[in-house]
Structure 1
Amino acid sequence: MDNQEDTIAVRAGENFDLEKVEHYLRDHIEDIGEGTLQVRQFPSGASNLTYLLQIGDWEGVLRRPPLGPVPPKAHDMKRECSLLQKINPVFPLAPKPYLFCDDPTIIGAPFYVMERRKGVIVNTSFPSGVTPTPEVCKQISHTVIDTLVQIHAIDWQAAGLDTFGHPPGFLERQVKGWIERYHRAKTDDIPQVEPLTSWLLSHIPQSPAPTLIHNDFKLNNMMLDAEDLTRPVAVFDWEMATIGDPLFDLAISLSYWATEDDPEELKTILPTVTMFPGFVSRETFMEIYAQKSSRDLSSIDYYMIFAYFKLAVIIQQIYVRWKRGQTQDERFAVFGARVQTLITHAAQLAGV
């Protein structure tokens, strides 16, 4: 894929000192070669900022936190870089990191640089000129499920990931934590929040054995081979990965897996190609996952309701930054209405 196709010119206010970054790269990465640093920005994502770095034939990807104040413990670049260092050897779809920098004089925030993977990201549409058959869409579905099963099968203790999570009480902490995050970022009064959060707190199920979880696993956080869309090239956005409940991870994936029979307002928030003919239903996704992972999904309804609530909180955290003027990205102006829709949907599923 041409760099002009999957990147944009750096957005206003999100640029940095190229000379300082180039000097830092040359001091810490061998064999970069001749040329001047060129930078473009990856347009997707609403959280961390991601840039394509090019010096001659060398390419890398820089990730940094969003501008302005960020939630406590969020956007921890050092943790994300360290996690990738440990995951990449046992799960090669995770990109290899090159360096971490916490010197605030370079770009004003911590950042890390990782290898560049090439392929296509499939989100709301397929790449120009690609019209996949229903059979290809079905195979992509299986690729996504297989990849999630592989992540959950990683021997996280052997990989040295013991310090990347606290499995006992994970789900209860998540429920309480996301409720607290919502209240910290609250802007509008949504009447369903109180009964929904009370229901979530009083119905927490027992978790299965802990695994490594991605915590934001979805089709557009995967990169597929441009020549064979059924072959995965990379899994990105590991910022929230931890050791925890694999059914929570599954439900997060399913919450993004929009289907044609979803409510219209939900499809507007989560418009993905998974609504195209051939992609498996959520029910089939769950059946295949259960069969390949040998996990009991009898409590999955709770996890789905919580996943929609968590997604609402993530969107609310972005929306409050836009409302406070901490980001000028006008994509976020409609996020308040999306939070309302997701909260309402979760409350309806919970019957409250």
Structure 2
Amino acid sequence: MMLMIMMMKKMRTAARFRSQLWSLKMPSLCHRSFAAISTYKAVIFDMYGVLIPSPVKLATVFEQQNSVPLGTLGKAIRTGGEVNVWKRFMRGEIGAEEFVEAFGRQCSEIAGCPVPIGSFLSDLTSGPMTRPLPIMMEALLCTRSRGLKTAVLSNNFLQLNGDPFLPLDHSLFDVIVESCREGLSKPDPRIYHLCLNRLGVSAHEAVFLDDLELNVKAAAQLGMHAIKVGDLAVSVKELEGVLGIPLSGIVPGPGSAPRATKLPMDQLTQYLRKALHLSDKADPVAVQQLSPSQSNSLYHLTTGGRHLLLRKQQKASRAMETEYRLLKALNGSGIPVPEIIDLCEDPSVLGAPFLLMEVCLGRMYSDPSLPGLTPGDRRALYQAMQHTLCQIHCLDTRAVGLEDYGEPVDYMGLQVQWWTQQYRDSETPPIPAMERLIQWLPLHLPKHQRTTQIHGSFRLENLVFHPEKPEVVAVMDWGRSRLGDPLTDLTFSCMAHCLPQDNPLLTGISDRGLVQLGIPTVEEVMGQYCSSMGLEEGVPDWNFYMAFHLFCLASSHQGESKSTIAGQTGYGRLAEQVADLAWDFATKEGFRIFNAMLRSPHAVTSPLKGQVAE
């Protein structure tokens, strides 16, 4: 009886803990490789005033230098409605020579003096107007690196040679729509629809940027998220907030030194030209540093029209060589993995080994509630996630040469030992719940462990989904993969189901109303997996696995706390509270075992096999 009372007290303590833990807003220790949390599929850029300088400022300078009354050109552009000379020039209805003559005559009448429009047109296609704006081009590169489509939608004109003026790298855009080629100009709704149709997206899946209010309003009325561009830095920040991805870190251009990177660019450029068989005239390398960790630094590279990921090893180990072998073996196995280009172990290039792989363009999500999607779309993505996990666990390791990959014997026992040692190595003040778990976990290891290939960190934000279909196109972050207990992958993928949304370590969905969102419950996830894998016994040790995962999280957080911010009691307290939650699951496992002694072995049909609900 005393034992039961103590167990009930522990559960009440853990319940109080849930209401307090997440108020500690600590930085996440779970570093992301890269992610796109955007529900949008495309970003549409105006050219003038967005990607290149605004002609409005140029017109002011032109008027001042040529003694033309200020505002003359602006008045001529606004006079006469849709049939005025400027609008007809933008729609390609008249050529450059006719425009110079007619628009010059109109401006001269307004100004009361000759206006050399030929000189203005020359200025409009030379000098600063030919140089893209770095801050917006950097945002464009970051946008494309995350798998979003990009387009230019510009009111543009034909030059004297008959070509449009477009001083941009055409390869950076999926679609280019110019008024002078289409016979339509903004804010006519038809040209917006034309651009959307060519991109293959609906209006609510697109973000539009323009520096003119009337064009922005027209886009918004069609259902696009429209951003009025004034201050470029402010507009990029707004776009960053809308897309949910960082839009800085890439610095394009020859000889530029990428911010926040320590890469020797000359050596890297030489290596890439050789590895990718590029000519010496290939585009310069653009670099964006993504989220670093203690063991690896990840970079996004763009060169020769290709998007690449480079992961540089920080700590001495054979992990990178092992992962290279794994991904090479999985290529062609049916399991979606990124295409590996090379493992470079030559220290003269970057000073440490690194992996080079292709970027898998698609959708990535760091919020497991999948904001912005329909309930049906959410369910479909979670089902695709489980299908991919089953693919990994069904892999014939002998067929791909991975039968000796990792430790297949007593996987969970070895994992408990390893994480216990990690905790001991970084231990600060003793944590009572961790001490109890260190004693409890080895005594409650699952009796029946299967051995398959496992991912080791399988969760939603390590997956890249097809841009349009509910299909996983790449599984990322294979650094912890080995032969082991597949139920560690399955239960780890459900961690978000057990944690609230504002959890500072892992974003959860336990308080989000899964039925309304269309997200499968834990029971449904387990049921789908067990049905696909033929597991009639379900997952009877589910609480053990959850206690184990939280024990690992506390150990890892304790280690990071000691190495980076020693002495800050808030961090130590957070590790202690995570350990308390782990012990809560251990307590529930004790109730499960006790209850199982009192019931028929065939009384429970749930995949969780008698788990005690919270």
CA distance, structure 1, for counterparts of residue 262 and residue 559 of structure 2: 23
**How far 1:123 moved relative to its partner?**
1.1
Alpha-carbon spacing, 1:338–1:279, altered in 2? closer, same or farther (3 Å): farther
Q: Among residues 517, 542, 551, which one is paired with 1:300 in the alignment?
A: 542
Indicate whether 1:316 and 2:558 are aligned. yes
CA distance, structure 1, for counterparts of residue 369 and residue 266 of structure 2: 37
In the alignment, is the contact (CA less than 8 A) between 1:123 and 1:220 conserved in 2?
yes
**How far 1:106 moved relative to its partner?**
2.0
Deviations 1:183-230 (A, max 9, x none): 1123343221100111001111224331100000000000112333x2
Alpha-carbon spacing, 1:44–1:334, altered in 2? closer, same or farther (3 Å): farther
Bigger mean CA deviation after superposition, 286-295 or 238-247: 286-295
Indicate whether 1:4 and 2:142 are aligned. yes
Alignment of 1:81-92 (within 5 A): 81-92=324-335
CA distance, structure 2, for counterparts of residue 13 and residue 333 of structure 1: 30
**How far 1:149 moved relative to its partner?**
0.9
Indicate whether 1:254 and 2:254 are aligned. no
Deviations 1:87-124 (A, max 9, x none): 12203411121111122232222111011110121112
Structure 2 partner of 1:146: 387
CA distance, structure 2, for counterparts of residue 336 and residue 9 of structure 1: 32
Unaligned runs of 5+ in 2: 1-40, 42-139, 147-245, 251-257, 591-614
Structure 1 partner of 2:313: 65
**How far 1:30 moved relative to its partner?**
2.7
Deviations 1:235-293 (A, max 9, x none): 100000001110122122122x235xx4677x343225684611111222111111111
Structure 2 partner of 1:345: 581
| Secondary structure at 2:338 match in 1 | coil
In the alignment, is the contact (CA less than 8 A) between 1:319 and 1:336 conserved in 2?
yes
| Secondary structure at 2:299 match in 1 | strand
The one-letter code matched in structure 1 to 2:455 is: H
Structure 1 partner of 2:434: 193
Structure 2 partner of 1:233: 473
The alignment of Structure 1 onto Structure 2 pairs a total of residues equal to: 334
The one-letter code matched in structure 1 to 2:497 is: A
CA distance, structure 1, for counterparts of residue 353 and residue 471 of structure 2: 33
Bigger mean CA deviation after superposition, 115-124 or 31-40: 31-40
Alignment of 1:126-141 (within 5 A): 131-141=372-382
Alignment of 1:1-352 (within 5 A): 3-5=141-143, 6=146, 8-9=248-249, 14-31=261-278, 34-43=282-291, 48-66=296-314, 70=315, 73=317, 76-124=319-367, 131-228=372-469, 230-255=470-495, 257-258=496-497, 262=499, 267-272=503-508, 275=512, 277-295=517-535, 296=537, 297-323=539-565, 336-351=572-587
CA distance, structure 2, for counterparts of residue 335 and residue 25 of structure 1: 42
In the alignment, is the contact (CA less than 8 A) between 2:338 and 2:474 conserved in 1?
yes
**How far 1:41 moved relative to its partner?**
2.1
CA distance, structure 1, for counterparts of residue 324 and residue 526 of structure 2: 31
Alpha-carbon spacing, 1:18–1:95, altered in 2? closer, same or farther (3 Å): same
In the alignment, is the contact (CA less than 8 A) between 1:209 and 1:245 conserved in 2?
yes
In the alignment, is the contact (CA less than 8 A) between 1:77 and 1:111 conserved in 2?
yes
| Secondary structure at 2:404 match in 1 | helix
In the alignment, is the contact (CA less than 8 A) between 2:335 and 2:391 conserved in 1?
no
CA distance, structure 2, for counterparts of residue 43 and residue 213 of structure 1: 24
Alpha-carbon spacing, 1:153–1:313, altered in 2? closer, same or farther (3 Å): same
**How far 1:20 moved relative to its partner?**
0.9
In the alignment, is the contact (CA less than 8 A) between 1:216 and 1:249 conserved in 2?
yes
Q: Cα RMSD between the aligned structures?
A: 2.9
**How far 1:45 moved relative to its partner?**
6.6
Unaligned runs of 5+ in 1: 325-331
| Secondary structure at 2:288 match in 1 | strand
| Secondary structure at 2:302 match in 1 | strand
CA distance, structure 1, for counterparts of residue 374 and residue 555 of structure 2: 36
CA distance, structure 2, for counterparts of residue 334 and residue 41 of structure 1: 29
In the alignment, is the contact (CA less than 8 A) between 2:261 and 2:289 conserved in 1?
no
Alpha-carbon spacing, 1:308–1:83, altered in 2? closer, same or farther (3 Å): same
Higher relative contact order at CA 8 Å, sep ≥6: structure 1 or structure 2?
Answer: 1
CA distance, structure 1, for counterparts of residue 399 and residue 352 of structure 2: 32
The one-letter code matched in structure 2 to 1:227 is: E
**How far 1:28 moved relative to its partner?**
2.8
**How far 1:340 moved relative to its partner?**
2.6
CA distance, structure 1, for counterparts of residue 375 and residue 272 of structure 2: 45
**How far 1:336 moved relative to its partner?**
4.5
In the alignment, is the contact (CA less than 8 A) between 1:210 and 1:243 conserved in 2?
yes
In the alignment, is the contact (CA less than 8 A) between 1:47 and 1:318 conserved in 2?
no
The one-letter code matched in structure 1 to 2:312 is: R
Bigger mean CA deviation after superposition, 163-172 or 312-321: 312-321
Alpha-carbon spacing, 1:273–1:194, altered in 2? closer, same or farther (3 Å): closer
In the alignment, is the contact (CA less than 8 A) between 1:100 and 1:112 conserved in 2?
yes
| Secondary structure at 1:283 match in 2 | helix
**How far 1:12 moved relative to its partner?**
6.5
**How far 1:46 moved relative to its partner?**
7.1
In the alignment, is the contact (CA less than 8 A) between 1:319 and 1:333 conserved in 2?
no
In the alignment, is the contact (CA less than 8 A) between 1:207 and 1:245 conserved in 2?
no
**How far 1:24 moved relative to its partner?**
1.6
| Secondary structure at 1:49 match in 2 | strand
| Secondary structure at 1:192 match in 2 | helix
**How far 1:338 moved relative to its partner?**
4.0
In the alignment, is the contact (CA less than 8 A) between 1:322 and 1:333 conserved in 2?
no
CA distance, structure 2, for counterparts of residue 344 and residue 181 of structure 1: 18
The one-letter code matched in structure 2 to 1:306 is: F
Bigger mean CA deviation after superposition, 241-250 or 276-285: 276-285
CA distance, structure 2, for counterparts of residue 121 and residue 272 of structure 1: 16
Alpha-carbon spacing, 1:61–1:43, altered in 2? closer, same or farther (3 Å): same
The percentage of counterpart residues that share the same residue type is: 27
